[in-house]
Amino acid sequence: MSKLAFNVRIFICILIIIFPILLWAFGGSKPASYSQYYYTNAAPVFVFVLLSVSFKMMSTPKWFIPGALLLIVIFFPCNEYRLIHNFSAILFYLISSLIICRDKRLYVIGWIMIAASPLYFNSLYWVEVIETTFLAMFHLLYLLRINKAQKG
């Protein structure tokens, strides 16, 4: 992997980790879910970050389907297309979790993501924060492992 590709992926992971802070800073108080930020001043941040993640995921065969599902989430806003949006979002998190569960070293992260799912009944927003943070942490750790192997 080139230095530029590595740095872009690291940047996207960091964006996802600080995503809740960015959304709050641009969109104000916390709505019921990430997707509700689409209807606030944070909409450009919301779309930019999710498009960045989606395109980067789709460039990797193993992550193509979650990346495509994320595109559907972006292009079908939650208020106008509730069923398509929610179904795609649920599949995005589920498939991402299952892909991570199949990893030999970092599978625990996938199980944490799955274990967080029942929190949906308490707060969809916090489930999204937990799952996206762990998804980004998985990718960061994976990238660092690849980088170390290439240097070593």
**Banded model confidence at residue 72, pLDDT cuts 50, 70, 90:** very high
As a whole number of angstroms, the distance between CA 88 and CA 69 comes to: 5
Q: At what angle do helices 43-58 and 64-75 cross, to 10 degrees?
A: 160
pLDDT at 24: 93
Residue 56 CB partners (closer than 8 Å, separation 6+): 8, 9, 12, 67
pLDDT value at 152 more than 80: no
Q: Average of pLDDT values for 69-97?
A: 96
Average pLDDT, the chain: 93
Q: What angle do CA 91, 96, 102 make, to 5 degrees?
A: 130
**Banded model confidence at residue 70, pLDDT cuts 50, 70, 90:** very high
pTM: 0.91
8 Å CB contact between 56 and 27: no
Q: Average of pLDDT values for 8-34?
A: 92
Break the chain into its structural domains and give their ranges: 3-151
